[in-house]
A and B are shown apart, each in its own frame.
Chain A
Amino acid sequence: MAARTFTINDQLISAREGETILQAAREHGIFIPTLCYLDGVSAVGACRLCLVEIEGSRVLRPACVTPVVEEMVVRTDTGRLREYRRMIVELLFAERNHVCAVCVANGHCELQDLAIAVGMDHVRFDYAFPRCDVDISHPLFGIDHNRCVLCTRCVRVCDEVEGVHTWDVAGRGADARVITDMRQPWGEARSCTSCGKCVLACPTGAIFRRGATVGEMERDRNKIAYIVAAREQRW
């Protein structure tokens, strides 16, 4: 496969053909914040946290879906990017009800980690305080919409890896919610095989194992990529 040479933050880097900026950056230990991206499922470029600057381009590009081009000059950590990223994280906190102190994911949450990474010590936007449901109709798992960031990782992992497509997104804007089957309670969603892949994939405290209490919801999100890689080797 042909190699591509380009620079990130003045560092010369070589990438394989077809690789994205994010993949190449990670291989070289360069940190780009992400949220909707998950190894093992398709990238959708939804959360915009991985935006980078590319010389000669007026618009910012999401690193997770932008392929490397020969001689591209990329910046991942400018003042403008830092300010936008912090705004994105603040908006995510403002649009649902995140109360880390009483959350199953406290201490093991990608959103919480992002807040630390972008230096968010408070949220400048008005909190929306939306009314959100918690669905614990499934015998093993629960979904708390107060904590959902609409990253669609659950949707993609269920569709692409489990091959089921129990999850989807319904509604628009502030009313958008992830749903199971035809917007039925999860426990009545007959397509669900209870495989637990969405539980592994969720970055926040939104999807959890029933019985987990504050801070107990640890999960190994790398398992998804592991399952996918194992399967590719076999078939």
Chain B
Amino acid sequence: MGRLRLATIWLGGCSGCHMSFLDLDEWLFELAQHIDLVYSPLADVKEYPERVDVALVEGAVANEDHLHLIRQVRERTRVLVAFGDCAVTGNVTALRNPLGAPEALLHTIYVERVGTAGCMPHAPGILPPLIDRVQPVHKIVPVDVYLPGCPPPAPRIRALLEQIIAGGEIRLTGREMIKFG
């Protein structure tokens, strides 16, 4: 197999999954021999490219920008990995869901709780509108592989990437690979 075109995406997450990816440390040099990093918050690429082999998607779908990006990612990617608990379950990002519609919630947080100085965040074109309910990635687009963990530990990420590079069927089982949290 030629070099894999790898992308990493940052939706509604804390970037902890990306930090864990960086925790691969010197194995990143090994990885670099097999992949080209074609899109990532760690690389300065503005537009999601065509013909991506593997995309690691961190974070849940929480706003309009996420919706747009994840649909583009799905169209242009062969293997889409829900990368970490926020992507797989909604997790911490979805903690707002039981509390109701985002407008009321933002009002409580930015206006009521901070007294008179507060105002609603409003910056069209800069701040993307929140969607009603935060959703795990697979509720928006089909997902091929799920990698739980908050964040997935580096050895777990490595085990998955090794399976992907080897090219066979991907199988993740047991505490080391699929424990949540």
Contact = CB atoms under 8 A, between A and B. Distances in A.
A100 B150 contact: yes
A131 interface: yes
Interface residues of A, number: 25
Contact of A120 (B133, B147, B178): B178
Contact of A116 (B92, B133, B150, B178): B178
A98 B98 CA distance: 12
B2 interface: no
Given A102-B92, A129-B98, A121 B181 contact: no
A122 B181 contact: no
B179 interface: yes
B82 interface: yes
Interface stretch (B32-40, B62-70, B110-118, B135-143): B135-143
A5 interface: no
Contact of B85 (A100, A107, A127, A215): A100
B15 to A, nearest CB: 14
Nearest to B82: A122
B139 A100 contact: no
Interface in B165-181: 172-175, 178-181
Interface string A90-119: 000100011111110011000010011001
Given A121-B178, A122-B136, A122-B138, A101 B148 contact: no
Nearest to A131: B98
Given A122-B146, A127-B94, A116 B179 contact: yes
19 contacts: A97-B97, A97-B98, A99-B85, A99-B95, A100-B180, A101-B181, A102-B92, A103-B181, A116-B174, A116-B175, A116-B178, A121-B88, A121-B178, A123-B89, A126-B139, A127-B90, A129-B94, A131-B98, A215-B181
B8 interface: no
Given A121-B146, A121-B148, A131-B98, A112 B180 contact: yes
Contacts of A130: 98
B1 interface: no
B99 interface: yes
